[in-house]
Amino acid sequence: MIEAPAPSESIIYSQATPDDLPMVQALLRENGLPSEDAGEHLEHFILAKEGDVLVATAGVELLGSAGLLRSVCVARNCRNRGVAGELCRRMEASAFSAGVRHLYLLTTSAEEYFKRRGYRVCSRESLPAGVKGTAEFRSLCPASALSMVRDLDGDEQSTILTYQS
Ligand SMILES: CC(C)(COP(=O)(O)OP(=O)(O)OC[C@H]1O[C@@H](n2cnc3c(N)ncnc32)[C@H](O)[C@@H]1OP(=O)(O)O)[C@@H](O)C(=O)NCCC(=O)NCCS
């Protein structure tokens, strides 16, 4: 018998607190994403939990009008329920509110996923200095990681903000 996925309404989204750090790092490690510097940026992480269990994370590093979307990670048994989509929507709206207009990310495995979310591939050379200065760019992500960017000042972002308020 195939077990139906639990409804997404059972998932609660919240801002990370320092107590969450060990489980955030464990989830990132289990899924092959950099975790070493998560503690430094935890105040800008949103978590998805089902009961007490952490099922997904997403974070942003704020770098003026640029931002780095990072640590978008969903536990394997919770995928394809729209959790990453919801986390990305929340992160994009939050980054926009904080003044970010160009949201960058680095990925080795989710290019197609982020293309569907409006991101486009950009060259590593074109990244702003702030992004090039992050630990993710300098040492934690492999040099083969693709750089992608989404411009947040389009109409769609206003819709997201309206939807969130
Ligand atoms: C990529 C990832 C975050 C997607 O999480 P998710 O919660 O399953 O995604 P959603 O439920 O919002 O979206 C599901 C849709 O995206 C597609 N999708 C999921 N992962 C994908 C990937 N790596 N590449 C392309 N498409 C992908 C699914 O097939 C599904 O498509 P459908 O709507 O046509 O059925 C998750 O697979 C993950 O944690 N991967 C490992 C970590 C990673 O690579 N993170 C990104 C770099 S920061």
Pocket-forming residues, ligand 1, beta carbon under 6 Å: 31, 33, 70, 72-74, 79-85, 105, 107, 109-110, 112-113
- Spell 35-52 as b/e; 16+ CB within 10 A means b: bebbeebbebbbbbbbee
Q: What CA–CA distance (Å, rounded) separates 4 from 93?
A: 31
Tell me how many helices (H) and strands (E) the chain has. 7, 7
- Per residue in 151-165, pLDDT (tens digit) is 997 545 545 544 443
Look at residue 5 in the predicted model and tell me its pLDDT.
52
Residue 4 pLDDT: 46
What was the pLDDT predicted at 7?
A: 53
If you measure from the C-alpha of residue 72 to the centroid of ligand 1, how many angstroms do you get, rounded to a whole number?
Answer: 9
Mean pLDDT, the chain, as a whole number?
90
Instruction: Identify which of 113, 146, 148 to mutate to test ligand 1's pocket (most ligand atoms within 8 A of the CB).
Output: 113
Q: Three-class SS of residue 60?
A: strand
Q: Does 113 score more than 80 pLDDT?
A: yes
CATH 3.40.630.30 matches 10-164: yes
Its pTM surpasses 0.85: yes
According to the model, what pLDDT value does residue 154 have?
A: 52
In whole angstroms, how far apart are CA 53 and each of 102, 139, 140?
Answer: 32, 30, 26
Burial of 111: CB neighbours in 10 Å, binned 0-12, 13-18, 19+: middle
Q: What is the pLDDT of residue 139?
A: 86
The pLDDT tens digits of the residues spanning 49-108 come to: 999 999 999 999 999 999 999 999 999 999 999 999 999 999 999 999 999 999 999 999
Q: Of 87, 71, 84, 72, which Cα lies nearest the Cα of 35?
A: 71
Distance of alpha carbon 44 from alpha carbon 57, whole angstroms: 11
